[in-house]
Amino acid sequence: MNKIIKQVIKFNKNQKEDAFVYITECFENLLCSFVGKADERYREDLTQELIFCLFVVIKKFNIRRYKIDTSLFIKDNLLELQKYEFKNINKVLNLDYISSFIDKYGKELLIKSFNSNYYRKKFIDEYILFCNENQFVSKVNKTFKFTTNKFCKAIELDRKYCVRKDHEEMINQIADESTKEKNNPLNKYKMTIDEIVFLEKFIDNNSLLSESEVAKKLGISQQAVSKRRQKIRKKYHFLRKEVN
């Protein structure tokens, strides 16, 4: 019973590698379902990311003790449960997950717990582990979902940035082609239309905008704006030297 949570406890207590391997194998299908949502080129990276997240969830998971009213484990309550074929078990014992517990492991241990202190303790221990296992599985599922969504969004943003960067570099190359006249320094360094348009973006209602504000206006990164601005400043620094 409750093998996953028992392996979680074992791993946190002894750092046994076999415990972590077992837990990972238990979540293999879930992991594959989330990895399959990513582009094939990035699935190996996402797999490693999710395995690391699983490790973190294991390390941070604390076993919770559930309060169980042992006074309810009397013969009259057992007779009532049997009368209604255990369909009223939540009402009689007032325990979360108890229906799920007997659906998974059967009624035998529960029935014995009404007649024996030994089996009652065993049932309570297993039931508490079952509750914790449900919480642990839920936490892993939520973490995998959050991490996968974050990973895929980051990849998409990176792609968009690369497309913009390539476009900016192409524009810069075109602008550079138009300034190849070598004879006259004024022709060599004269301002291009592209540069004029770019610098005009820094002026808004007679106010000077920051690089981050211009970046937001153009829909590109601040680094790209800064690089282009520095390139123009460097160009006119050389112009002043040659003219003077």
Average pLDDT of the chain, as a whole number:
82
pLDDT higher than 70, residue 25: yes
Segment among 11-20, 142-151, 153-162, 165-174 with least mean pLDDT: 165-174
**What are 41-85's pLDDT values in tens digits?**
888 889 989 999 999 999 999 999 988 999 999 999 999 999 999
Please report, for the chain, the start and end positions of each structural domain, with discontinuous segments joined by +. 3-63+130-157, 70-129, 178-243
Fold that domain 3-63+130-157 belongs to in CATH: Rna Polymerase Sigma Factor; Chain: A (1.10.1740)
DSSP letter for 67, please.
P
Q: Transcribe 68-130 into DSSP letters.
A: --GGG-SHHHHHHHHHTTTTTHHHHH--TTHHHHHHHH-SHHHHHHTT-HHHHHHHHHHHHHH
Least confident of 25-34, 64-73, 90-99, 211-220: 211-220
Is 24's pLDDT higher than 90? yes
Closest alpha carbon to 2 in 93, 115, 126: 126
